Structure 1
């Protein structure tokens, strides 16, 4: 039985920050109990006691709503997190009419007490460090405004609110990033294992057949020798394919363009690429390699039987340049326009169209008897 690899503490399709959300639920419940006990002990001293119990009811119901939605990833929506902050801020500001202006100025707790710490923590878990800073700052201001003053004790509360929210945000971001790296490593491991399995099958079957066809064809000679030469070229190309690593991508969806370009190499096509990774979006790599294959296909069909091709990949930072040059017969003047008029859209669509969709440009240099060179410039940011 196949088992999907799991990350400790979460299921494969779960939010990696689920433990944080569960901890927040516990925090909300504990601080709710503390707030209710505080309201009970302070009963009879409120300026508007019935309003205090209304706030207690609102906090209780809202805690139940948050618990229900925060228990599953689909319920952890930004609208709910923002609504939590808004409600929390409103309830804190209601402390002035409910508790009374004089008690608040004398250092009394807000009506929500510790329950108000849940909103900035929730924002930090959902949005990371910057949401934590923003939510913590807003809650700190709502804690200061009802009192009308600022002292060392309120400064301590402010630092704790903002600091804790920031730290929780950093931790949630780190957890998600770590989980993404683990999942990417597991995908790469699975792809590598499958590639090795296929490589063994190809080696034991197809490659041996091609090698035997090449050997026997050379022995027989004549037309069989031509077939043997083709079989030998395909054997080399297939060995290069199975020897190359899987097409990996980063957490941001970028991939190393060198891996895609190196697959173009054959006995008649030489490929040169930088020594360091050339990271571009997956769609850019796919479309650029497809355009290159179309250009090389034209070399095979039109450049002459003895033509060779060279592929050069350059990373210029803001853009990548893929050059494809051959030593074939070249393209006569007006031939591309005639081909397009006849409905042959390989150059206009498969090459120029693809690169244009990526926000890039194509330069063609050719002349009869002097070969052909395609130079494709594509921004590293992907499609325009």
Structure 2
């Protein structure tokens, strides 16, 4: 799908503004040339203005030519042509604040700069043209100040519109990608339901009827059926341009016959690296449940988005961890939990706590702040009983 240019209407407006203001500059020369000190120079400069107008209009209507070099060259050329008013206008015209040779034609470059790179660039270009106006006049008057405010203000307002258009286009593109992904997921879900899931359900049912080793195969088929249903039902990860990912969709696919996953109804966007680390953390916690919680143990994963932080709880109903077991493992050199889970959480400036007792299962609670913390030492990483 080809992405449309959200700034095309703005660039078209800049080109039209250039043509309209050039017409005003021609009219100003026709009206005032009889009082100019050097009328011939005025027509020469007007010819240069015409040539530069043709070039900039052509450039601004071509996406490949809308570059920083072209826009700032427009600012520089406009300021240079404006200064020729010092040799064209008579002293009386300069005193009367008659229109400079460029007139309102000089208002286009700040707007072009704003469309290209937003508010800051628009304000800087407007300030440059305003300074050139004051330098050409040779004094700071009310009219010069007014023109400066208008130039800077137009750069800010158009820059704001440019940024808004860009962000709206990006949001629309993400929405279209999500819609396409959802449609494809639904198509695959129908296909899987009509084939793979029905086969797994039949294997599970028949294996339970036969018993023995077939019952073990039935149990495995049942687990894969639940996992596949969770995978199909999970929301597709949103593709973003700012390096974030949806933690919710990553955790949903971990649901099985013995693992229940509860997540918010909306996406939980975090930096991609943070999502990868948290997904690995939850996977490691579930792996510990499978290895150490005992046969038939069930696990629950809960994801909460509290705004300023994200909380993940991984709980099981297994045998629990006897008091001192983790410390004993660390003393004997087995640093899996301490270095892996706690180390990863510490690297994310978060906290991790453990609640467990023999026969009462285990619960890990992980809290990760959304914003980076300036002093990492303020976050205590440890276990609780």
TM-score interval (norm. to shorter): 0.7 to 0.9
Q: Determine whether 1:247 maps to 2:237.
A: yes
SS in 1 for 2:315: strand
1:102 corresponds to:
92
Do the aligned partners of 1:333 and 1:367 also contact (CA within 8 Å) in 2? no
RMSD between superposed Cα atoms in Å: 3.7
Q: Determine whether 1:111 maps to 2:101.
A: yes
2:275 corresponds to:
285
SS in 1 for 2:107: helix
User: How many residues are matched?
Assistant: 369
**Please, what TM-score do these two structures have when normalized by structure 1?**
0.78
How far is the alpha carbon of 1:98 from its aligned partner? 3.9
2:214 corresponds to:
224
Q: Determine whether 1:35 maps to 2:25.
A: yes
SS in 1 for 2:365: strand
Do the aligned partners of 1:129 and 1:169 also contact (CA within 8 Å) in 2? yes
1:8 corresponds to:
none
Do the aligned partners of 1:123 and 1:132 also contact (CA within 8 Å) in 2? yes
1:263 corresponds to:
253
2:367 corresponds to:
377
Unmatched tracts of structure 2, length 5 or more: 375-385
1:207 corresponds to:
197
Aligned counterpart in structure 2 of residue 323 of structure 1, from 289, 313, 319: 313
1:196 corresponds to:
186
Cα deviation, 1:32-72, whole Å, max 9, x if unaligned, reads: 45435644665575445676466446545544553454344
SS in 2 for 1:322: strand
Unmatched tracts of structure 1, length 5 or more: 5-11
Cα deviation, 1:242-267, whole Å, max 9, x if unaligned, reads: 22332336675655433333333333
Q: Determine whether 1:298 maps to 2:308.
A: no
Do the aligned partners of 2:289 and 2:318 also contact (CA within 8 Å) in 1? yes
Cα separation, 2, equivalents of 1:383 and 1:207: 46
2:382 corresponds to:
none
Do the aligned partners of 2:226 and 2:255 also contact (CA within 8 Å) in 1? no
Cα separation, 2, equivalents of 1:32 and 1:205: 69
Aligned counterpart in structure 1 of residue 227 of structure 2, from 212, 231, 237: 237
Cα separation, 1, equivalents of 2:352 and 2:187: 39
Cα separation, 2, equivalents of 1:300 and 1:101: 92
Do the aligned partners of 2:89 and 2:100 also contact (CA within 8 Å) in 1? yes
Cα deviation, 1:98-144, whole Å, max 9, x if unaligned, reads: 42443122121112122201112112212334544554455445445
More moved, 24-33 vs 288-297: 24-33
Cα separation, 2, equivalents of 1:75 and 1:298: 58
Mapping of residues 1-12 of structure 1, within 5 Å: 4=1, 12=2
The 1:119–1:364 alpha-carbon spacing in structure 2 relative to 1, beyond 3 Å, is: same
Do the aligned partners of 2:222 and 2:257 also contact (CA within 8 Å) in 1? no
Cα deviation, 1:150-193, whole Å, max 9, x if unaligned, reads: 45x66775665455444433433343333223222221121111
Mapping of residues 302-313 of structure 1, within 5 Å: 302-313=292-303
Cα separation, 1, equivalents of 2:372 and 2:209: 51
**Please, what TM-score do these two structures have when normalized by structure 2?**
0.78
1:7 corresponds to:
none
Do the aligned partners of 2:177 and 2:239 also contact (CA within 8 Å) in 1? no
2:65 corresponds to:
75
1:19 corresponds to:
9
Cα separation, 1, equivalents of 2:54 and 2:362: 70
